[in-house]
Amino acid sequence: MTEEIIIAGFGGQGVLSMGKILAYSGIMEDKEVTWFPSYGPEMRGGTANVTVILSDTRISSPVLHEFDTAIILNQQSMDKFEKAVKPGGVLLYDPNGVIHPPTRKDIRIYKVEGTRAAVEMGNPKVFNMIVLGGYLKVKPVINLANVERGLQKSLPERHHKLIPLNLEAIRKGGEILEAN
């Protein structure tokens, strides 16, 4: 199994940390992982994206021109990465911030109303975990117990009290997932 994912949105949406939790969860499941971010000034408020690769075997390129899954959180990223999904692959997006929904017919497209659900949950910060939950519902590449262990490893001790909330957000994401 090799799963190549691009997560793209604005800086501040938790793009990089979503990728990090996914990657750490992969380690908990004994997978090889690579987390490759865009870095530099663009991170500060501009667009941010991260490539996450999970695999049972040695991982080759961190730089990819096509992906198994694209998780897209703003219009700029939609413009850039909709075309980079492999035929038959998955595109998952939050319609909040996406003006022109994806149009490809040769890929599987899913919607997660993460922004709205996060507000409903009373904590906009869990937005990225809701989206992650949607992704894990579509592609259960990692067992939820390992995601919890991944959270424990990637969050600093002082934030461990937030783990139950994050897990709830992940479950919520799975519930509100809609296929296009």
Smallest distance from the beta carbon of 168 to other proteins, in angstroms? 24
Alpha-carbon gap, residue 99 to 122, rounded angstroms: 25
Alpha-carbon gap, residue 128 to 15, rounded angstroms: 7
- The stretch near other proteins (CB under 8 A) out of 22-30, 126-134, 137-145, 170-178 is 22-30
**Residues facing 109 on adjacent strands:** 91
Residues 140-179: x/- map of binding to other proteins (CB under 8 A)? -------------xx-------------------------
Smallest distance from the beta carbon of 61 to other proteins, in angstroms? 4
- The stretch near other proteins (CB under 8 A) out of 27-35, 91-99, 126-134, 135-143 is 27-35
First to last CA, the chain: 26
Positive/negative CA dihedral, 4, 94, 128, 139: negative
Which conformational region is residue 97 in: left (phi greater than 0), alpha (psi within -120 to 50 degrees), or beta? left
Asked if 31 and 4 count as a contact pair (C-beta separation under 8 A), the reply is no
Residues 103-142: x/- map of binding to other proteins (CB under 8 A)? ----------------------------------------
Positive/negative CA dihedral, 6, 10, 13, 17: positive
Smallest distance from the beta carbon of 55 to other proteins, in angstroms? 11
Among 10, 11, 17, 64, binds other proteins (CB under 8 A): 64
Q: Where does this chain bind other proteins (CB under 8 A)?
A: 20, 23-24, 26-27, 32-37, 39-40, 59-66, 153-154
